[in-house]
Structure 1
Amino acid sequence: MKKINYILIFVLSVLSCKAQETPTKFSEAALNDTFITLDGNSISFKEILEANKDKTILVDVWASWCKDCIGGMPKVKNLQKAHKNVTYVFLSLDKTQEAWKKGIEKYNVQGQHYFMQSGWKGPFGEFIQLDWIPRYMVIGQNGKINLFKAIEADDIKIKKIL
């Protein structure tokens, strides 16, 4: 009888699970989340996208304290060399703006830089289901999300899309 109960629970669990769809566009909350620019101004993610309209964007969510993020930087630089027409947007989860700016300089990170003041659990972080950094996304010239999640800059999916 116990075996039948376990089988029944398993079958019901499988049937009740919904496959999670990969988003192709950002939620209003994510678009309205605000970031800090290098000069200290506030900017929404929507404004970042509008400033890069008609461009392919590689988003890199990182932090200067993150060993995996720093280890992945040479791979990002290789992407930048191979795909010069792509815009590289770096969203930092550093603990302070000072640490963020020092990290950009220390690791010579080239691209557009924004500080994620709302952090992991803010509207943007929640929307992208942020559970690990580095985190890479590719946004197409049409503004749609072409790649929702990669954790390695040399992921074959990134290379194919770019």
Structure 2
Amino acid sequence: MKCLMLVISLALSSIFSFSFTDKIHTLKSGETSLILKAEKDTNSIFLADMTGKKLTFDDIKKRHAGKILVVDFWASWCGPCREIMPESTKLVEALKGKDIVFVYLSIDDNVEKWKKANEQEKLTDYTENYLILDYRSSRFLKEQKLTFIPRAMIFDKAGRLKVSQTIVDGMGQLGYFTKMADSPVK
């Protein structure tokens, strides 16, 4: 038992000392901007589109500045996600032309299953459809406690997270989203 505890404590101390030593080395060499950049990067969500092109969620927010973002988290293996997807896509169609963008983010581990589910759910028609590459390690997703799907987050026109736990399940929400889209940026 003592031997096991010794091994565990040595392992933990080496992990923590490596990280700490690395940061001190960076600070000593005057590269504080690298630390700040790394911390900013870890607060983002890293994505890939259907062609494999990589980007971040921040890229999407910048591209759609001034619009509401409805971010729908799902996966090919999630029965409830797949069940509500047709209603969600009807809502997207009904809101075309409004200042609102629906972004579909999958937490799939298997790229081929994700692509197949995209075709089955007709999500290939939507440009804002991505695979999350780092959902298990994304600091933002951990802070938001993304522990269940289906789930949606809503960002206002200024890019601020307004609703962090909801479900986009269809046309019953048309009035709500229309009102949001028609409201001015605050």
What TM-score comes out, normalization by structure 2 length? 0.64
1:103 to 100, 117, 123: 117
8 Å CA contact 1:58–1:138 kept in 2: the answer is yes
Cα distance in 1 between the residues matched to 2:48 and 2:66: 23
> CA separation of 1:102/1:124 partners in 2, compared to 1, >3 Å: closer, same or farther?
farther
2:53 to 41, 51, 54: 41
Count of aligned pairs: 136
Structure 1 match to 2:146: 130
Structure 1 match to 2:105: 91
Cα distance in 2 between the residues matched to 1:114 and 1:124: 17
Cα distance in 1 between the residues matched to 2:171 and 2:138: 26
Structure 1 match to 2:169: 153
Alignment of 1:65-84 (within 5 A): 65-84=77-96
1:58 to 64, 67, 70: 70
> CA separation of 1:122/1:32 partners in 2, compared to 1, >3 Å: closer, same or farther?
closer
- Return the offset for 1:120: 3.8
2:129 to 113, 121, 124: 113
The percent of aligned pairs where both chains have the same amino acid is 26
Amino acid at match of 1:58: V
Cα distance in 2 between the residues matched to 1:119 and 1:126: 8
Structure 2 counterpart SS, 1:59: strand
Structure 2, unpaired ranges of 5+:
1-38, 181-186
Cα distance in 1 between the residues matched to 2:58 and 2:66: 14
- Return the offset for 1:153: 2.3
- Return the offset for 1:89: 0.5
Cα distance in 1 between the residues matched to 2:136 and 2:174: 23
1:143 to 159, 180, 186: 159
8 Å CA contact 2:90–2:171 kept in 1: the answer is no
Q: Which has the larger share of helix?
A: 2
Cα distance in 1 between the residues matched to 2:40 and 2:174: 25
Cα distance in 1 between the residues matched to 2:41 and 2:55: 14
Cα distance in 2 between the residues matched to 1:50 and 1:31: 15
Partner deviation per Cα, 1:51-109 (whole Å, 9 max, x = no partner):
11111111000011100100111221232133222211111111211111111111112
Q: CA RMSD in A?
A: 2.5
Amino acid at match of 2:46: T
8 Å CA contact 1:136–1:153 kept in 2: the answer is no
What TM-score comes out, normalization by structure 1 length? 0.72
Structure 1 counterpart SS, 2:103: strand
Structure 1, unpaired ranges of 5+:
1-26
